Amino acid sequence: MKNNKIKGVIFDLDNTLLDFMQMKEFAVKAAIKGMIEAGLNIEEEKSYTEIISIYEEFGWENQKVFDVFIEKQIGHVEHKFLAAGIVAYRRAREANLMAYPNVNKTLMALAKLGIKLGVVSDAPSREAWMRIYYLNLYHYFDGVVTFDDTGERKPSEKPFKVCLDFLQLSPYETIMVGDWPERDVVGAKKIGMKTAFARYGDTFGTINSGADWDLNNVYQLVSIINEWNSNS
C-alpha cells in the first residue's frame, strides 16, 4: 500500500520560523537600559530575571509587563519610565527579529515543489501577522491561523483543522513543524498529521520529541518531502 503524498506543511511561528526567544532577550535588556537611562533606579541582571518571570506568569505576549514591573519597583506606574522602556524594547525587537537560517530558502523550495504552506500559532493575530510581514514571509502562506481565530491553543485540534481547511488538504497529506512537542507534535498527531520537531529552536532541552522527524536545520524538510513523495 502506497503512502499519501505530502502536499502541505504547517509551521508554528515562534522558535520555528523566527528566533522569538533571542529577540525577546535583546528587547527586554534594551528596555531595562532605557528605563535606567530615564532615571529608574534598578539593577540590570536582577531586573531581567524579574521581567522574564512576569512574562512566564502572565504570558509571553502580555502587553502590560513593564507596567507590572515598574509598579513593583516604585509602587506606581511612572509613564516616563514606561515610555522609555517600551520605545527601547520596540526598537530592539525590530532590530533583532530574524528568521532562522534557511527559512526563506526552505519556503521558496517547498513552494516551487507545489507544496501548500500554512502557519498555526498561539500568538495573538496582530502580533503574528506583524512578525510575518516584518520578515517578508507573508506571500508564502495559503493560511495563517492564530489564537484569535479559534479561541483555542494547541494541542487543541481546532487550530490545525482550520488551517487544513485553508489549505484544502487532509491531515494525512500534511506535516506539522514546531518546537514544542506537547503542543505542536501532540496536537498534530491527534488528527493524523505527520510531525517534524524543530530541534534548532528548542528552548526546553527536549530529549525525545515524539515526532516523525527531528530537524537540526529547517531545510532538511525539503529532502524529507522529496524522499517521502518519491516513495509514494
Per-residue pLDDT tens over the stretch 172-189: 999 999 999 999 999 999
Q: Mean pLDDT score of the chain, rounded to an integer?
A: 96
Classify residue 201 by its DSSP letter. Answer: G
- What size, in residues, is the chain? 232
d(CA 43, CA 125): 34
Reported as a pLDDT band with limits 50, 70 and 90, residue 3 is: confident
Q: Mean pLDDT over residues 97-102, rounded?
A: 96
pLDDT tens column, 124-168: 999 999 999 999 999 999 999 999 999 999 999 999 999 999 999
Classify residue 140 by its DSSP letter. Answer: G
With a cut of 90, say whether residue 83 has pLDDT above it.
Answer: yes
Buried b (16+ CB within 10 A) or exposed e, 128-152: bbebbeebebeebbbbbbbbebbee
Strand pairing category for 143-145 and 116-120: parallel
pLDDT tens column, 6-55: 999 999 999 999 999 999 999 999 999 999 999 999 999 999 999 999 99
With a cut of 60, say whether residue 1 has pLDDT above it.
Answer: no
Which pLDDT score is estimated for 2?
59
8-11 β-sheet, strand order: 143-145, 116-120, 8-11, 174-178, 194-198, 213-215
User: What's the predicted TM-score (pTM) here?
Assistant: 0.91
Whether the CB-CB separation of 218 and 105 falls below 8 Å is answered with no
Where do the domains of the chain lie, and which CATH numbers do they carry?
A: 8-19+98-230 (3.40.50.1000), 21-96 (1.10.150.520)
Strand pairing category for 213-215 and 116-120: unpaired
Which pLDDT score is estimated for 232?
83
d(CA 26, CA 95): 9
What sign has the CA pseudo-torsion 175, 118, 113, 209?
Answer: negative
d(CA 181, CA 162): 20
